[in-house]
Amino acid sequence: MSESVGASPQHSGASATMRGRQVVIVGGGPAGYEAALVARQLASEVTLVERQGVGGAAVLTDVVPSKTLIATAEWRSVIESADELGVHLDGATALPVDLGEVNARVRGLAAQQSADIRARLEREGVRVFDGAGRIVTAGVVQATAADGAESELDADVILVATGASPRVLSSARPDGERILTWTQLYSLTELPERLIVVGSGVTGAEFAGAFGALGCDVVLISSRDRVLPGEDPDAAALIEEAFRRRGMRVLSRSRAAAAERRGDSVVVTLEDGREVTGSHCLMAVGGVPNSAGLGLEEAGVALTRSGHVQVDRVSRTTVPQIYAAGDVTGVLPLASVAATQGRIAMWHALGDAVAPLDTRNVPANVFTAPEIATVGISAAAAAEHGARATTVPLARNARAKMQGIHEGFIKIIARDGDGTVLGGVVVGPRASEFIHVLTLAVTTRVTVDQLASAMTIYPSLSGSMAEAARQLHAAPSQR
Ligand SMILES: Cc1cc2nc3c(=O)[nH]c(=O)nc-3n(C[C@H](O)[C@H](O)[C@H](O)COP(=O)(O)OP(=O)(O)OC[C@H]3O[C@@H](n4cnc5c(N)ncnc54)[C@H](O)[C@@H]3O)c2cc1C
């Protein structure tokens, strides 16, 4: 993420009253480092305290590594349509993947990205303190370096941006060798013979899909009726079908109770007593906020029952000088949202113009093959918003046919009457790039007629976007 994470309005810079304020930021992920850049732009003295590495979990263990791994997996997915397009793999039945090499690239890219962000921060005049931060009072942060040396940092404003960590079940403790969290996958040097993925949310589905594409036998354990329970049901059904078609075993309505090592195997026991055996197990059962031991409650900062820091839409906690942003707040676990919350915190704290966080227009993407990208209201919520949805399958798009794309769709949700675009779903290759058009439409309140009036390239997948918009055109009598 050397580009800025998420979008931000242009701000004019520091007024005389905001100059020289002391800002201490605890946590150097997207929430923390983007906030640091804003605070410097507003002429504050900024210290960023980070215990693991600048860039945070986003860069070192979560977004950057997972999407780099998925970039390799994508190459293997593309090969699926090679035969159909007349490219034969010369009798090769398998294209071996060297996971050691792939993971070395993943770790190298993450380290480089972290170094790039650190260099940028230092260039802008942010002081980076390598160590752990703890709030002593609303005006003092204690920073402890790796060698135990302690410093007291005075602060006019404190930002808590400490992120989250993988949830660990006491009956399935990761050992870093065969029972793994997602942060431990990148030390593997060989593809697991059989990978059991526990959890079919976004993280579980992305890794299950990626390891399947890399050539691994994958069993996906889902406690729900279908994978990706939080996503558009049509999109989730399509992904589950794609998983099964590629040979993945998906165990629905199957809750994992425990995972244990038995020699060189891992056995996952389900709540109904069934056992699933594999060589490795990935526990992808969500995250917990890094809010313990930070001195938050002692300083008067209220936490929610789940341990997240309570914030309002301008990232204020219950203590005036203390702000919080990112995964530690539990607002929406996305790097783009974390970065936006961090920037908003600084604009507000340092007296600049600020618009409160609006989570309605946040685009999100699941990096499976195909990808699922969504923005705005869901099709399920259309009726309660006086809206309707239409879906155009990509299979009937000329470019899709040429490229051997048989699955995927574009769904647009628009208000009845005036046709304002309220939401959308794109399922297809590079849906994460495509969704921007719909994000723009939802954010700027474009109507389906305006969307349809912008000409698209022929042949192109975006032609289906215009087609969906045309389908939602309302006759004058219906407006
Ligand atoms: C596998 C996976 C893939 C993901 N993929 C995507 C994606 O593709 N797109 C997307 O938008 N989001 C993605 N996310 C979510 C994204 O990673 C998070 O939303 C984002 O990292 C949140 O940023 P943050 O700044 O709040 O915290 P983090 O990135 O977690 O950074 C917090 C930092 O604070 C540090 N810290 C904690 N406590 C202290 C302390 N006491 N003192 C000093 N430092 C401390 C930690 O070491 C860490 O470096 C993914 C998440 C996972 C798990």
Residue 163 Cβ inside 6 Å of ligand 1? The answer reads yes
CA of 301 to the centre of ligand 1 (A): 21
CB 158 within 8 A of CB 152: no
Ligand 1 centre from 200 Cα, in Å? 20
Cβ 209 under 6 angstroms from ligand 1: no
- 3-state SS assignment for residue 211: helix
Q: Best mutation site among 3, 54, 62 for ligand 1, i.e. most ligand atoms within 8 A of its Cβ? A: 62
Distance 62 CA to ligand 1 centre (A): 7
Strand order in the sheet with 256-262: 256-262, 265-270, 275-278
pLDDT at 1: 46
- Distance (angstroms) between ligand 1 centre and the Cα of 449 equals 39
* E strand intervals along 394-434: 409-415, 421-428
CB of 294 sitting under 6 A from ligand 1: yes
Closest residue to atom 37 of ligand 1, CA basis: 162
Tokens encoding 418: 């005036």
Q: Which two tokens stand for residue 318?
A: 């219950």
Q: What is the pTM of this model?
A: 0.95
Judge whether residue 6 has pLDDT over 70. no
Q: For the segment 76-111, what is each residue's pLDDT rounded down to a tens digit?
A: 888 878 889 988 877 655 678 999 999 999 999 999
Instruction: Taking the CA atoms of 229, 233, 235 and 241 in sequence, report the sign of the dihedral they define.
Output: positive
**Ligand 1 within 6 A of CB of 203:** yes
Look at residue 8 in the predicted model and tell me its pLDDT. 47
- Determine how many CB atoms are found less than 10 A away from the CB of residue 238: 21
pLDDT of residue 18: 61
Dist. CA 153 → ligand 1 center (Å):
23
Closest atom of ligand 1 relative to the 342 alpha carbon: 25
Each residue of 447-473: pLDDT tens digit? 999 999 999 999 999 999 999 999 999
The response to whether residue 5 sits with its C-beta less than 6 Å from ligand 1 reads no
Q: Is 366 helix (H, G, I), strand (E, B) or coil?
A: strand
More confident residue, 327 or 14: 327
Question: Cβ(331) to ligand 1 under 6 A?
Answer: no
Ligand 1 nearest-atom number relative to CA 326: 26
pLDDT, the chain, mean: 94
Contact 169, 285 (CB under 8 A): yes
Q: Which atom of ligand 1 sits closest to the CA of residue 53?
A: 49
* C-alpha 332 – ligand 1 centre gap (Å): 12
Cβ partners under 8 Å of residue 114, min gap 6: 53, 54, 55, 59, 60
Domains of the chain, first to last = 22-60+103-166+288-359 (3.50.50.60), 179-285 (3.50.50.60), 370-478 (3.30.390.30)
Which one-letter amino acid corresponds to residue 313? R
Digit-coded pLDDT (tens) for 276-302: 999 999 999 999 999 999 999 999 999
Residue 216 pLDDT > 90: yes
- What's residue 88's pLDDT? 84
Q: What average pLDDT does range 124-142 have in this prediction? A: 98
Distance (Å, whole) CA 237 – CA 462: 23
Atom of ligand 1 nearest to the CA of 59: 29
* CB distance 334 to ligand 1 below 6 Å: yes
Instruction: Please report the pLDDT score of residue 80 as a whole number.
Output: 78
Is 256 near ligand 1, meaning CB less than 6 Å away? no
Q: What is the pLDDT of residue 408?
A: 98
Give the DSSP H or E segment for 259: strand 256-262
Confidence class for position 14, pLDDT limits 50, 70, 90: low
Contact 39, 46 (CB under 8 A): yes
Q: Averaged over 40-45, what is the pLDDT?
A: 97
Predicted confidence at residue 26, as pLDDT, reads 98
The response to whether residue 110 sits with its C-beta less than 6 Å from ligand 1 reads no
> Ligand 1 centre and the CA of 326: distance in Å?
8
Q: Which residue matches tokens 């389900």?
A: 270
CB 373, CB 426: distance < 8 Å: yes
CA of residue 479 to ligand 1 center, whole Å = 45
**Residue 10: predicted pLDDT:** 47
63 lines ligand 1 (CB under 6 A): yes
In percent, the amount of the chain with pLDDT more than 70 equals: 95
**pLDDT tier, 222 (very low <50, low <70, confident <90, very high otherwise):** very high
What's the CA gap between 187 and 104, in Å, rounded? 8
Residue 326 Cβ inside 6 Å of ligand 1? The answer reads yes
Q: What pLDDT is recorded for position 11? A: 52
Q: At CA 317, angle to CA 293 and CA 162, rounded to 5?
A: 40
Instruction: Verify whether ligand 1 is closer than 6 Å to residue 45 (CB atom).
Output: no
Q: Which residue has the tokens 């994992």?
A: 256
Residue bearing the CA closest to ligand 1, atom 49: 56
Tell me the pLDDT tens digit for each residue of 421-450.
999 999 999 999 999 999 999 999 999 999
Q: What is the pLDDT of residue 214?
A: 94
Distance 477 CA to ligand 1 centre (A): 50
For the Cβ of 311 lying below 6 angstroms from any atom of ligand 1, the answer is no
Hey, what amino acid is at 296? L
- In this structure, what token pair is assigned to residue 332? 């929406």
Query: Please, how many CA atoms are within 13 Å of residue 82, restricted to the half-sphere of its CB?
Result: 14
Residue 183 has pLDDT above 80, yes or no: yes
Tokens of 148: 């135990």
* pLDDT 10s digits, 395-417: 999 999 999 999 999 999 999 99
pLDDT at 81: 80
> Hey, is 131 helix, strand or coil?
strand
For 196-215, what is the mean pLDDT? 97
